[in-house]
Amino acid sequence: MIIGIDLGTTNSLAAYMTEDGPKIIPNRLGNNLTPSVVAMDKDGNICVGETAKEMMYADPTCAASVFKRSMGTDKEFYLSGKRFKAEELSSFVLRSLKEDAEALLGEKVEEAVISVPAYFNDFRRKAVKRAGKLAGLNVERIIAEPTAAAMAYGLYKEKRDIKAVVFDLGGGTFDISILMYFAPILEIHAVAGDNFLGGEDFTKVIEEMFLQKCDLPVNIADNADDRFVVDLYKEAERCKRAITDTDRYKMSVKKGDKTYTAEITRTDFEKECAGLYERLKVPIRKALSDAKIKLSEIDKVVPVGGATRMPGIRSFLAKTFNCFPDISINPDEIVAVGAAIQAGMKERNDSVKEVILTDVCPFTLGTEVSVRYSEFKYEDNHYCPIIERNTVIPASRTDEFYTIRDHQTKLDITVLQGESRIASENLTLGHIVVPIPDNKAGEEGVKVTFTYDINSILEVEVTVMSTGKKYREVIKGIETDMTDEEIDKRFEELAYLKLPPREQERNRYIFARAERLFMELVGMDRERLENYVRLFEAALDSGDEGEINYKRSRLEEVMDEFDN
């Protein structure tokens, strides 16, 4: 069985194909969305999702979130003093989704199609594959989130030719894709985006508005371990959801013995978000320009990601594209559904209509060259593109390069990814050093062929023109890339960190939530909560299933009352 997974910044979820179409896989708490939060309890157990989120609210030092933004980098996160990289934290989320799928399907799940932001570079995509391997999943296919959304939306079932925009604003990343459908071909013509722009940035605007209204320093939110900061974030999230449906929301956050309050209106919020809307426009212009399409030619706008629920975003889309976004499919689930359809196609599932899907290379691929700027001088550190961004893949391109010095006996082909004209400002994927015959400058040269496939694998072939000798290498990347042996070793190191059994998760979530509420409440409310927690603990000790369910439901009712 192959499942589709949307590994999100804020929430993650999985889906699979049935005879009746794609279905979302509920997690162990019965919810479709699993928060992309990982925590470690005092016994060294790893918790994922809602339980981890509650633990984070109670103790920020034991949990991590929004780590997807750091995929493919060396940034480290600390859970109760232990260090983890983003891909390792992601592997815990993936493992949790894998276990949920196996529990539902009653069979082993060893392969997955995982979605990534279209604008993820090579290092980030490989980090996602490593996370899958650490979770016990074979990830042969990575699919761009907008592509998955287009498939879920059913663009490939349209009866007419269509040009569409997929506007994907998730918790931490933004992608814009221009797609065209000419039955049975679904073509991606251009992608652009911002890996550091998402719903979390809109939450930050609300935080800053609250701090300003309460005459508190804005940089107070820089201390991630502060209890006030955690409560402020949670209240800002509530405010963001509330002003989606109402015109205003009164925020209230306690700091020490003092409670700060401030009213946030939707109108003021939209004004403060002006800078974020301007940032959204930059990738939109870039994608339309690369696709050579005018705004007036767009037939449909497909919103993806929970952040697109905000009225301001929907208004922005309507004004920008002069048509109302289609909101007929849940924006939180559409990517996972599309990934499941891709998994079904990979399995040759009879319920999936075949479609010829073309993707594009999201970044330019090239090499470093020296450029002559006088008769006797060359300037190094110039970028020479070989495969331009938004080239339909798979693609293969060849360029020729020649020596610039007498008696040169080797050429160093540096493989780069990016858009800067300065070579060193682009991402270095690897090097190939090729020996060449000793000769005069300009009389020895090589043909360099880049071949890039739909799975983001780059093959580089260098042919010495004077001898015909070929050198070939599949670029795996350097710096943050790991060998299979290193991955296996890290897998063993992480093996001691166990996810608690699925059947225990609900109780763990209840206690984590109760702990968080206990820290928030005071006086009689705190005593009342403690009383219900003790009754639930006594029921657990008794082992009476009926008593456990009854006391759990009573405790949940009380906690719902306090949360509301």
The DSSP H or E segment spanning 192 is strand 185-194
> DSSP letters of 79-105?
ETTEEEEHHHHHHHHHHHHHHHHHHHH
- Active-site annotation holder among 87, 145, 207, 332: 145
Distance (Å, whole) CA 521 – CA 289:
54
The values of phi and psi at residue 262, to 5°, are: -160, 145
**CB neighbour list of residue 7: distance below 8 Å, 6 or more residues apart:** 36, 68, 90, 93, 94, 114, 115, 116, 128, 131
Residue 338, H or E segment: helix 334-346
Q: Give the whole-angstrom CA distance, residue 258 versus residue 291.
A: 55
Q: Which of 53, 68, 85, 126 is catalytic?
A: 68
- The distance from CA 446 to its chain's CA centroid, rounded to whole angstroms, is 39
Do 150 and 136 form a contact (C-beta atoms < 8 A)?
Answer: no
Where do the DSSP E strands lie in 285-377? 300-304, 356-360, 365-372
On whether the CB atoms of residues 363 and 417 are closer than 8 A, the answer is: yes
- Nearest by Cα to 214 from 269, 259, 272, 271: 259
C-alpha separations of 559 from 17, 285, 291, 563 in Å: 37, 47, 52, 6
Strand, coil or helix: what is 374? coil
Those residues whose C-beta lies under 8 Å from the C-beta of residue 447, and which sit 6 or more positions away, are 398, 399, 400, 462, 463, 465
Residue 145 a catalytic site member: yes
- Residue at 485: amino acid letter: E
Long-range Cβ contacts of 268-276 (<8 Å, 24+ apart): 268/209, 269/205, 269/206, 269/209, 269/243, 269/312, 270/312, 272/205, 272/208, 272/209, 273/202, 273/205, 273/312, 276/197, 276/201, 276/202, 276/205
CA separation for the pair 115, 124 (Å, rounded): 12
Is 6 one of the annotated active-site residues of the chain? yes
Q: How remote is the C-alpha of 554 from its chain's centroid?
A: 37
Question: Where does 451-501 have alpha helices with state H?
Answer: 484-494
Amino acid identity of residue 394, one-letter, is: P
For strands 76-79 and 63-65, give the pairing: unpaired
Q: What is the DSSP string of 448-466?
A: EEEEE-TTS-EEEEEEETT
- Token digits of residue 431: 């090097």
State both tokens at 101.
């799928």
Cα 17 from Cα 23, distance rounded (Å): 6
Structural tokens at position 492: 């063993």
Of 1, 14, 4, 3, give the one whose Cα is nearest residue 48: 14
Query: Which residue in 59, 122, 168, 444 is the catalytic one?
Result: 168
Residues marked active site are found at 6, 68, 145, 168
